[in-house]
Amino acid sequence: MEWWRTAVFYEIYVRSFGDANGDGIGDLAGLIAHLDYLNDGTPRSLGVDALWLTPINPSPMFDFGYDVSDYRAVDPLFGQLADLDRLIAEAHRRRMRVILDLVPNHTSHRHAWFEASRRARTDPHRDWYVWRDPAPDGGPPNNWVSVFGGPAWTLDPTTGQYYLHSFLAEQPDLNYRNPAVVQAMEDVIRFWLDRGVDGFRVDVVHKMIKDAALRDNPRPPAGTEHPIRDYGGFQHRHDEDQPEVHDILRSWRRILDAYGERTMVGEVYLFDPHRMAAYYGNGHDELPLSFNFSFMWSPWGAQAFREHVAQSETLLPSAAQPVYVLSSHDAPRHRTRFDDAQWGEARARLAAMMLLTLRGTPFLYYGEEIGMRDGVIPPDRVCDPVGKRFPSVGRDPERTPMHWNAEPGAGFTSAAEPWLPIGPDVEHVNVAAQTNDPRSLLSFYRRMIWYRKGSAPLTRGAYRALDGPADVWVFRRESPGERLLVALNFGETPRALPIDGAARLELSTDPARAAGALTTRTLALGPVEGAIMAIE
């Protein structure tokens, strides 16, 4: 079975994981220093199998690396190519794979391709981007808006035309209707695969190619909204999810398959599960993995999560591998979203058990294993361009430095001021405080991940939802000769569950509860408790 079907991935926001040179910003050397924490081959470490690094390419950082000015190098802020080679080697030595963030939809406006493209209408790189004449009134060529607010077009005075940017004006969109662009990005992919990376997380896959005629988007049906203004005012019929994107993905999959053992996980930010499922192709010929964002944004509750999983089980091609995730660098941390004065910590444990027992590839976000919450960012420390335009949906809070210990700088940096302030509750929410405490959240994540690693039903078994009391999500994971029952009580009242057959409690989210055979044919679940049972 392909490694990426059984792996637990861990997203590292490189700027915030480890700062080796004391400038307040995370770097590759700082990351390498923490590899043993992630996996040293023993259950004393977290035990993750693969790392996703947010962009490390040279960038003027208007969107913190998601504006690439050179696809084949490492930004000096993070180190050099040699540091990346060392990181890959050191990770591989610990049996961890490394995937990089590939940002194909747009470049930085400082990329040499765009600098050439904007120079003259006749420049050979002109058609590498999307240029159009102004509308008759001098305004933008159509009504498209940027995901980050405002028009998706900026007028460039040098040549008197507008260029398209789905995000910031500093992030011009490439033109994938030009075969030279398709070729150039495939060369970038090969460049990194030749260097030994195990694959890519692919940024905004669904936007890579737009309507050939650049038609106006229709207004949406009433009641459908997006947290970011402007963008939610339209149906995105023509500026994303075009049929031709699948040709690009099929070609990329052929490249991956030719190298072997490589993967891609797509950021397909579409909430219509049918449209999202299409990016897997037939299950073998497009994206090997693609995030389920409906699941990520689900409200707390057994019913809600169960329905997203049911949908994914029904709609994905049978060979496709679902990808579940609860937190990322683009969304408030789930420890914060699901917080509760009384049940916050129990919910974090239950969420972890859910994520790590479903049929699919789980992605963790750095710091969730110690229960990191969103940081509080004073207005004068806001960095994220989205946060500057729309403070309520800024993404700095989920990007604050990793808490290694409770010292100033949280063990992340020796600088007086890290690039973003240290998050809340660092006295308890840190690795040093939790590492030797068997009841800590970190210890629970480790136990859960190592248990999963050794479990055939969890890593490769089928999933079947069973009936259960309201608030309790009960499902079975089954592989030949082995059966597990997972029961997740999202509610705050105890529940009793009948078990048909002899059962052994393998793992509970309750740190006080020991594993062992059940003496009655009933499983008593405490409030907000999850349990894994082996059934004979």
**Could you give the residue numbers annotated as active site?**
203, 267
**CB-count exposure of residue 75 (10 Å: 0-12, 13-18, 19+):** buried
Three-class SS state of 139: coil
Distance CA 263, CA 282 (A): 16
CB of 206 to ligand GLC, least distance (A): 10
Q: Which residues make up the interface to ligand GLC (CB under 6 A)?
A: 63, 66, 103, 167, 203-204, 267, 329-330
* Residues 227/230/231/236 CA torsion (nearest 10 deg): 140
- Nearer Cβ to ligand GLC (19/203): 203
CB of 343 to ligand GLC, least distance (A): 30
- Nearer Cβ to Ca ion (64/445): 64
167 binds, among Ca ion, ligand GLC, none (CB under 5 to 8 A by kind): ligand GLC
330 binds, among Ca ion, ligand GLC, none (CB under 5 to 8 A by kind): ligand GLC
CB of 357 to ligand GLC, least distance (A): 26
Q: Does 83 bind Ca ion (CB under 5 A)?
A: no
CB of 64 to ligand GLC, least distance (A): 7
Element containing residue 387 per DSSP (H, E): helix 385-389
510 binds, among Ca ion, ligand GLC, none (CB under 5 to 8 A by kind): none
- Residue 97: strand pairing partners: 50
Pick the piece of the chain touching Ca ion (CB under 5 A) from 14-22, 45-53, 256-264, 504-512. Answer: 14-22
What residues have CB less than 8 Å from 230, skipping those under 6 apart?
Answer: 145, 146, 149, 150
Spatial strand order in the sheet of 530-535: 462-466, 472-479, 482-489, 530-535, 503-508, 516-517
The full DSSP string for 263-302 is EEEE------HHHHHGGGTTTTSS-SEEE-HHHHTPPSSH
- Nearer Cβ to ligand GLC (37/167): 167
19 binds, among ligand GLC, Ca ion, none (CB under 5 to 8 A by kind): Ca ion
286 binds, among Ca ion, ligand GLC, none (CB under 5 to 8 A by kind): none
- Nearer Cβ to ligand GLC (32/169): 169
- Nearer Cβ to ligand GLC (38/204): 204
Chain positions 21 to 50 lying near Ca ion, rule: CB under 5 A, are 21, 23, 25, 27
**Which residue, judged by CB position, is nearest to ligand GLC in the bound state?**
66
Q: Kindly report the CA angle at 201 between 199 and 205, in degrees rounded to 5?
A: 120
What residues have CB less than 8 Å from 299, skipping those under 6 apart?
Answer: none
CB of 330 to ligand GLC, least distance (A): 5
203 binds, among ligand GLC, Ca ion, none (CB under 5 to 8 A by kind): ligand GLC
Residue type, 162: Y
CB of 23 to Ca ion, least distance (A): 4
Region of 418 on the Ramachandran plot (φ > 0 left; ψ -120 to 50 alpha; else beta):
beta
8-state DSSP, 145? B
- Nearer Cβ to ligand GLC (54/357): 54
Q: Does 19 bind Ca ion (CB under 5 A)?
A: yes
Residue carrying structure tokens 């990808």: 323
| Cα–Cα separations (whole angstroms), residue 157 to 118, 135, 154, 161, 365 | 9, 15, 9, 7, 42
- 410 contacts 429 by C-beta, under 8 angstroms: no
Distance CA 279, CA 295 (A): 17
- Nearer Cβ to Ca ion (27/286): 27
23 binds, among ligand GLC, Ca ion, none (CB under 5 to 8 A by kind): Ca ion
Residue type, 226: H
CB of 352 to ligand GLC, least distance (A): 23
Neighbour-count burial for 249-266, b at 16+ CB within 10 Å, e otherwise: beebbeebeeeeebbbbb
- Residue 325: strand pairing partners: 363
CB of 9 to ligand GLC, least distance (A): 15
CB of 15 to Ca ion, least distance (A): 9
- Nearer Cβ to ligand GLC (83/267): 267
- 172 contacts 165 by C-beta, under 8 angstroms: yes
> Contacts with Ca ion: how many residues (CB under 5 A)?
5
In degrees and rounded to multiples of 5, residue 261 shows phi and psi of 60, 20
- Nearer Cβ to ligand GLC (3/62): 62
Where do contacts with Ca ion occur on this chain (CB under 5 A)?
Answer: 19, 21, 23, 25, 27
